[in-house]
Amino acid sequence: MKRALAFVAAAVLVASGMGCKNPISGDGGGGGGGGGGGGWKPDKCMSNAFMGDVADLKEGRCLSYVAEAAGTKTTITWKVLCKCADGWCVEHWTDTGSMAFGYLYCVGDDGKVKKACAAAKGDKSWTEIKVEEPTSGTGGDQPKPEMTESNEDKEVKAGKFACKKIHSKITIQGTTYESDTWFSKEIWRLTSKGDNGGMVASESAQSKMWLESKAEDAKPTIDLPKK
């Protein structure tokens, strides 16, 4: 559940037939600014960047979410492209409207990112980037959220789903924050783990996020790097 809430928080903050033996290798198809698009793209990622469940990775699956905060909308899209020698090729795109960038992960059977590439909107090829281990968490006691569960249908742009609703309440430095998150077993767990299924929507006083679309015919946004 904590990983699911972490995905929501991260999303709000940024408010095939290709013979996939191992497409994320070598120079990844570019270097420096990458591929000709010229936009910003990350030069590294964490090995825990994929927060979903590898059991739900299947070629063609795609989930697209929209997060809205402070009047700004951000689209977050996950695509499962193919099985490769080291695991699964998974695309993760973030589009704020003024800027868009994507990751191409090679996710191992243990759920960790083994290799990764990045691209900016308009790039013609992927650029290989560093994969780093996350730093250890801060010490001391951390505030724990109070969570209650209930069953509730939730309708979003992608459809209406039977959900488990999680109400979360946490107090940090005297300020209390509350949010509601809906999970459904009809939705693949590409963004979180847990027995309640994939995320359908999340709402708080400051932001909201919902499943915009669900598909099973995902194709690469940019051609996969050739080995």
**Of the candidates 219, 210, 217, the residue with the CA atom closest to the CA atom of residue 158:** 210
* 111 in the same domain as 180: no
Residue where one domain finishes, among candidates 66, 98, 132: 132
**Residue 155's CB: how many other CB atoms inside 10 A?**
13
**Of the candidates 109, 116, 119, the residue with the CA atom closest to the CA atom of residue 131:** 116
Range of lowest pLDDT (17-26, 86-95, 108-117, 170-179): 17-26
Q: Over 90: is that where the pLDDT of 24 sits?
A: no
Domain assignment present for residue 213? The answer is no
Please state the domain count of the chain. Answer: 2
* 160 in the same domain as 126: no
pLDDT digits (tens, 9 = 90+) for 78-135: 999 999 888 999 999 999 998 999 999 999 999 999 999 999 999 999 999 999 999 8
CA 57 to chain centre: 13
Q: What is the pTM of this model?
A: 0.82
* 126 in the same domain as 69: yes
Domain assignment present for residue 174? The answer is yes
* 124 in the same domain as 18: yes
pLDDT digits (tens, 9 = 90+) for 134-163: 987 655 677 888 999 999 999 999 999 999
* 21 in the same domain as 119: yes
Domain assignment present for residue 85? The answer is yes
Q: What is the residue-averaged pLDDT of the chain?
A: 85
Confidence class for position 11, pLDDT limits 50, 70, 90: very low
C-alpha gyration radius of the chain: 18
Whether the Cβ atoms of residue 154 and residue 165 lie closer than 8 Å to each other: yes
* 105 in the same domain as 69: yes
Q: Over 90: is that where the pLDDT of 15 sits?
A: no
* 97 in the same domain as 60: yes
Domain assignment present for residue 186? The answer is yes
Could you tell me the residue range of the domain that residue 161 belongs to?
146-207
Whether the Cβ atoms of residue 186 and residue 63 lie closer than 8 Å to each other: no
Domain assignment present for residue 46? The answer is yes
* 113 in the same domain as 152: no
Instruction: Give me the mean pLDDT over the 7-31 stretch.
Output: 41
Domain assignment present for residue 220? The answer is no
* 198 in the same domain as 153: yes
Domain assignment present for residue 140? The answer is no
* Beta bridge partners of residue 176, listed in sequence order: 171
Name the maximum alpha-carbon separation found in the chain.
Answer: 55
* 105 in the same domain as 154: no
Q: Over 70: is that where the pLDDT of 6 sits?
A: no
* 151 in the same domain as 127: no
Q: Over 80: is that where the pLDDT of 8 sits?
A: no
Domain assignment present for residue 139? The answer is no
